[in-house]
Amino acid sequence: MAEQVDTVVIGGGVVGLACARTLAQAGRDVVLLEKADDIGTGTSSRNSEVIHGGIYYPKDSLKAKCCVEGKHMLYDYCASHGIEHNRIGKIIVAITEDEVSKLEELKAKGEANGVMDLEWLDADQMKQAEPNVRAAAGLMSPSTGIIESHGYMLSLQGELEDQGGMIAFNTPVEGGEVLADGRIRLRAGGETPMELDCNLVVNAGGLYAQHIARAIDGIPADTIPGSYYAKGHYFTYPGKSPFNHLIYPAPVPGGLGTHSTLDLGGGTKFGPDVEWLDVTHPDQINYMVDESRVDSFYTAIRRYWPGLPDGALSPGYSGVRPKLTNSNDKYAADFVFQGAEVHGLAAYIALYGIESPGLTSSLAIGKTITEMAAKQAA
């Protein structure tokens, strides 16, 4: 016999946790289902751990709105909850004069999104700020930072549980159906298979979100977007960082370029690159670092750091971004928050294509989904 539950959130990454925590704080009884044995084992643990400024995204897009609002919420959260972070700042560099116009476009785009702290650096100012970087100009984003993302996710988990919510680990969603009364019945696997009749299901399954949706009978197939997977590799650099800030080249098709980020321990990593995967299901993804790609890293990094020594880079890790298009235009697809106005189901909210800046946006996404849930319940 199916158990009766109020709200189920599918997916224990940073966005699922933020949604579950905020829904629980709004008074809902929340169960989070996670297929792995811990929180944040997917995309949430395989990224740059950057708090983004909100520069890159089209005006009025969900990415722009959630990133800018989420950035402020996240810094406030880190300060009030003791989450390790560093507002270190980022410089986007125009390596040649030909790329200066790209920075001008980014500055205008950021300001259109409400990012008003961007600073223009000429070649002399760049040399002063970053002596090891070759650049004709730079765009400084002082509000960009880094965060200890696992500590942040543990804090969200704690707040969810403090509100009476619970997490069921090793519990993959294998299917379900829309019931005659409008609720959704989920079939969950694992060591203790169960059926749950839910007043609300929030699908925050990340790489698996579309596959989960297709496994629930009654969700209109034409509302479920396609799935594409962009793998990004990271390589690490030993010793003291050559940079004082995060260093990003001008954006490239499909991503933000092979950039340099720091971790809170002072370590330096470069990445991600963009490799489109020819897979049809996330279970087919191989996360092994392809060491043969290191040559392209040396080429990309030496454009802005000519002093990178031979043999200095070591394989780090890889991650995969859930894309809604296989276009190399990074801005071809926005976040998708899909409610009843699209699929006609008051008991279902889906999040698709939650890639960067998902970490930065997570609290704003949780707030938005909670507002959608209240509206659908009215």
pLDDT in tens, 276-329: 999 999 999 999 999 999 999 999 999 999 999 999 999 999 999 999 998 765
Average pLDDT over residues 203-213: 98
pLDDT at 167: 98
pLDDT tens for 18-28 read 999 999 999 99
Q: CA–CA separation, 281 vs 192, rounded Å?
A: 24
Which uninterrupted H or E stretch holds 151?
Answer: helix 149-162
- To the question of pTM greater than 0.95 for the whole model, the response is yes
Q: Go through the domains of the chain in sequence order and give each one's CATH number.
A: 3-46+150-226+332-377 (3.50.50.60)
Q: How does pLDDT run across 32-84, given as a tens digit for each residue?
A: 999 999 999 999 999 999 999 999 999 999 999 999 999 999 999 999 999 99
Q: Where are the alpha helices (DSSP H) in 53-99?
A: 62-81
Left, alpha or beta for 366 (phi > 0: left; psi -120 to 50: alpha)? alpha
- Looking at this protein, which amino acid is placed at residue 353? G
- Please, which residues have CB within 8 angstroms of residue 243's CB and are 6 or more apart in sequence? 130, 132, 133, 260, 262, 268, 305
Q: CA–CA distance from 244 to each of 18, 41, 144, 146, 272 (Å)?
A: 31, 30, 13, 13, 20
Whether pLDDT at 198 is above 80: yes
Return the closest-CA partner of residue 168 out of 305, 52, 16: 16
Average pLDDT over residues 350-369: 97
Higher pLDDT, 43 or 332: 43
The per-residue pLDDT of the chain, averaged, comes to 95
Q: Is 292 exposed, middle or buried (0-12, 13-18, 19+ CB in 10 A)?
A: exposed
